[in-house]
Amino acid sequence: MKKSLITGFFIFLLTFTAAIIAPLVFMTEYTGRTAMDRMEKLAPLLPEQKFIYFNLLGSSEERFIAVGFYIFLIAFLASLFLGSKILKAIKDLQTAADAVNGGKPAAAVPLPSDGELRDIARAFNSLMLALGQKDAELQRKNHYMGMMVDALWVINDENLVVEINPAFTRLLGYEPEDVLNYRVFEFVDEEGEKILRKHLLGCAQGHSSSCELRLISKPGSLKPVTISWSPIFGEEGEVTECLGILRDFMKETELRSALKEALDYQRAIMDSMPEKLIVLDQDLRIVMANKAASDAAPGGLTGKQCHWAYGYEDCTAADCPVKKVLSTGGPQSEIIGRIAGGQQVHHEVIAYPVENVQGAVRHVVVVFRDITEKRRFEAEIKKKNTELGSLLDISKTLNQSLKSEEVFAPVIEKLLALMGMDGGCVFLLDEMGPELSLKYSKGLSAGFLEENKTFTTGQDIPGKVASTGRIFTTADLTADTRTEASAFRHTGMKACLATPMQGNEKVNGVIMLFSFAGREWTEMDEDLIGGAGQAAGMALENIRRYEKMRQLFTHLKWRRDEERKKVAQVAAAVAGISDPDRMLDSLLVILQDLMQSDFIWLLERDETKGLVVRSAPGGGISRGLAPYGKDVRGLEADALEKGGILTAIGENAEAAFTVPPCLEAGRYKAACAIPVPVGEGGGQPPKWAIGLYFRRFRQPGPEDLSFLRMMADILHMALEKARLHKEASLGKSMAGTILDSIEDGIIAVDPHGSVTAINRTAAVMAGTTGAEAMGRVFTGLFKDNAENARLNLLLIEGLTESLKGRHQYRELAMMTANGMLLPIVLTSYPVLDEGSEGGGVAGVVFALRDLTRNQEITRLKNEFVRAVSQEFKDPVSAILGMSEMLMDGELPAGKEALYLKAILSEGRQIERIMTDYLNLAEIDGGPERLRLSPLDMGKLIADVVREFGPAAARRGIGIGLEIKGGLRPVEGDAAKLKYILRNLLENAITYSGENGSVRIEAAMDADAIALTVKDTGWGIPEADRPHMGEKFYRGSLSGDTKGTGLGLSLSKQIVQMHGGTINIDSIAGEGTTIRLRLPLRRQPGEQNNGD
């Protein structure tokens, strides 16, 4: 293909070259020669000219070659370009063709630009499309044919077999190559050929037909088959081929016989049915009817309309079940009732759809069933069921309800509804007497009921029924001779039934039912209502029995509850009261209340007096009284001796026990004595006994006795507890007092952190009381806030450490209940359990020491040191400065002596300060440090006043001294007393303004000297007064004055050491008066604390 194409191409090229080049060359040469000839004609050309022209023109061959070569080259290049495109298009075509060969009929060729080639490609593509469609069609056909169960062959007009399917091969054993393009007659015998020809002819004329014949199968045997022939029409309506569908004749026969059998079987079944059965077609025509149906319709049913079957005149009604089956496609049923032969008969018509293969309803099977009997039976059953249901309801009501009154309403209502009656009532027979009383009624007039509420047994209908226990019925009360005298004649009712409410033991009442109309009572009615009456009677008995049980139980329960309550009260009394006498009283009151006794007491055996009253809460009898006297034995004494409870009771009870003289004789009819075991261990005989006295006869039951025993035990325990409590509280109060006297907060906890003891300081810190804090978890004691978080943490840490036997010391800040932030030291100590062998920790004691005071003292001390050092600084400054100037010799003339004097004076000032300081140290050592000697106080005072003269004069302060009478000598420490006086005077002068005055008075007052120092100074401000005399305390006015804050404090202490007193009276702005009282002789060991 390619080769021929290339050859063709070269031929085209050569032809083209020849066709174009040759004329061009010849024409050029011709034109040249013509031009040369013309030139020659005009003028003869020289041979050289000619030669030149000829050379110019060249030979035609030469030209041809040259020009041809160039044209050829151009044409070659052009065609090479075009040719490559063509080649590509051809190649595409080739590829597509290969694809088609390879089984891809849908292959398409891209359309090239060249017109002709495009047309070719387009034609190719449409051809391929058609091919593809055809191919798909063929495939489908083959698929169908292959899928066909029945064998088929196709015979063309030349009687050649042109097609078979796989089923054909299966049926006859021939492969396609064995059959295709063979004459059809080669597969039949002669007879068969005849039949075949006839049918093929018919088929060729466009008729369908079928035939039975024998085909020769591949193994050579003859196979009987049925062939259905159908013509295959061509496009113009002509018959092109004949299609024959072959079926195995033998199989067909089998199937047919099976079908027949089935039909026969069906027929037999249909005929055996007692119900009429018909089969209808879509037009409601009967196509089949069973024997029962046919027998009922003489003259046959087949072909008739359905209603013939069951006597319907018309079956056009919309509710005709057959029609419904046809319209809905689902089975239908209908009950048809009609009168036949004077009787109501019922038929049930059931219609079933019979669907064909496509699911369309083609036939309807209708079954008629006579249900007349069944329906009658059903009604009966329904009635029975209703009755049973009602009875069941009644018995349910009876069983469920526990109150007899609640029972009757539903029972009567049910019975009335069940029996179709109009009224009813219930009479109950009194449990004890012969009386029947009305409990419930319905439908009877109120007037009648008002007059006939009760009957006695034997009286009227209910009385008779109750006494006989038999049902009474009457069809008409007004006409019945038996009821001539009955009150029920006036109810307006006619029919009446009265049934006894028969229980297991006896008749409990009567149920009566009435109706306005007369009524004949059947045996069944009587049975039914009698049954209901019996159920009601039995239920009533049960209810009554239950009621009794309930009452009994309620009473018992009440009694138990009471006892429990009392025991709880007792327990509460025992737990809550720490005073044993009060506790005993409460217990006895409770016991008396529970036993419903009229008098109670507790007696105690006394060695000398016999029995004495320990507690008698009733009042009137005092504790310690011996009620029986020494020689009389009481019930209590007997009980103590016996060691158990004794009771005395009787018509003449007083003879049975000796009523103590203090109780009113003749008032008490019964008594009971219970010994109370007191004291540890069982060895000791009981010493205590309770006596209970009753004003009415009372025999305590076994329950009472056991309860009393229990109470005695409780009492015993309570007394024990009280005793222990008393002992404990004694020890505890002592410990408590000690604890409370400690300034530190003390909290004791058990190993679980529950507070077991807390002193007052700690309780105040926590804002609680000792009683409140007891038993609480210790970390919850203090204000719960951020400030106390560390405290709680350290408390826990302290507990943990202490449980390990270690103590702990921590400084921290805590917030007290009143919101004060306190610096404290928290110390925790383990409390070792002496009882335990391993030295276990029984608890932890926490001590919270308020550091505020310590810190204050520290602050004051610092302040003191500072003040003292300042005090020193002035004299030291003077001494140093002056010495310096003296040494430098730069003093004004004659001033040296003055300087030296000043140095001396300042040295003394230093000494004075030091004395103060030393006095402080000395005084802290106690009164023993005093150097006592008889002193002339008058002189001592005068000396000191003189000392202050110049200082006072400088400030313009006048000092007045008055010593009244003679002062007797005082036993005292001269230096210290002088110190006091100096201090007082110094204060008076320092805290007075210019031109003030200080007045000193001294006089004897009994065995003491009374000294008063009064100034007209600034006085002591209110705020300072409570602190006056405290160590290091300096008043608010002292800010810039010299002083140690010790003077008054020291003075106070010195006076006290001398057994004297010192009082300060001051009015701010007016002045201060100090009153000092100094005894002549100090009493040994005396230290007056007054101030």
Partner 1 sequence: MSKIMVIDDEPFILMMIEDKLKRAGFQVITQRDSSTAAERIRQERPNLVILDWIMPGVSGIEICREIKSDAELAKIPVVMLTARGQEDDERLGLKCGVDRYIVKPFSPKALLENVIEILGAGEDRPA
- Alpha-carbon distance 633 to 626, whole Å? 11
Residue 1044, Cα to own-chain centre: how many angstroms?
74
Q: In angstroms, what is the minimal distance from the CB of 960 to partner 1?
A: 22
φ, ψ for residue 473, nearest 5 deg: -130, 150
Cα–Cα distance list, 1031 to 653, 856, 920, 990, 1086 (Å): 84, 11, 9, 19, 22
* Sheet hosting strand 1008-1015, strand order edge to edge: 958-964, 997-1005, 1008-1015, 1071-1079, 1061-1067
1081 within 8 A of 1007, measured Cβ to Cβ: yes
Shortest reach from residue 957's CB to partner 1, in Å = 12
Q: Which CB atom, from 27 or from 898, has the smaller least distance to partner 1?
A: 898
**Closer residue to partner 1 in complex, CB, 779/997:** 997
Say how many residues make up the chain.
1091
Cα distance between residue 984 and residue 999, in whole Å: 11
Q: Which is nearer to partner 1, 302 or 869 (CB)?
A: 869
609 versus 955: smaller Cβ distance to partner 1: 955
What is the DSSP track for 831-848? EE-SSSTT--EEEEEEEE
Nearer CB in complex with partner 1: 460/871: 871
> Shortest Cβ distance from residue 880 to partner 1 (Å)?
5
Which one, 679 or 881, has the nearer CB to partner 1?
881
> Which residues of this chain interact with partner 1, rule CB under 8 A?
866, 869-871, 873-874, 876-882, 884-885, 888, 890-892, 895, 898-899, 902, 905-906, 990, 1039-1042
d(CA 927, CA 56): 173
Considering the complex, state which of residue 841 and residue 957 has its C-beta at the smaller distance from partner 1: 957
Give 812 or 902: the residue with its C-beta nearer to partner 1.
902
Say which amino acid occupies 406.
E
The minimum distance between CB 1007 and partner 1, in angstroms, equals: 39
Nearer of residues 453 and 901 to partner 1, judged by Cβ: 901
Alpha-carbon gap, residue 583 to 587, rounded angstroms = 6
Three-class SS state of 458: coil
How far apart CA 525 and CA 387 sit, in angstroms, is 10
| Closer by beta carbon to partner 1, 320 or else 879 | 879
Q: Which amino acid is at 860?
A: L
Helical segments of 742-774, H only: 760-766, 770-773
The least distance separating partner 1 from the CB of residue 993, rounded to whole angstroms, comes to: 8
Strands (E), 485-609: 495-502, 507-515, 599-606
Task: Return phi, psi of residue 181, to 5°.
Answer: 65, 15
Residue for token digits 């009658």?
A: 376
Structure tokens at 930: 């005093």
Tokens of 976: 């210290």
Q: How far is the CB of 888 from partner 1 (least distance, A)?
A: 8
Least CB distance to partner 1 at residue 903 (A): 8
Report, in Å, the least distance between residue 877 CB and partner 1.
4
Report the distance separating Cα 1043 and Cα 870, nearest Å: 9
Nearer to partner 1, 556 or 900 (CB): 900
Helix (H, G, I), strand (E, B) or coil at 327: helix
Name residues whose C-beta falls within 8 Å of residue 141's C-beta, 6 or more positions apart in sequence: none
The number of angstroms, rounded, from the C-alpha of 495 to the middle of its chain's C-alpha atoms is: 65
H or E element in which residue 683 lies = none
At 1037, which helix (H) or strand (E)?
none
Quick one: which H or E segment has residue 751? none
Task: For partner 1, give the closer residue by CB, 522 or 870.
Answer: 870
Nearer to partner 1, 396 or 873 (CB): 873
Which residues are CB-contacts of 754 (< 8 A; sequence separation ≥ 6)? 775, 776, 777, 778
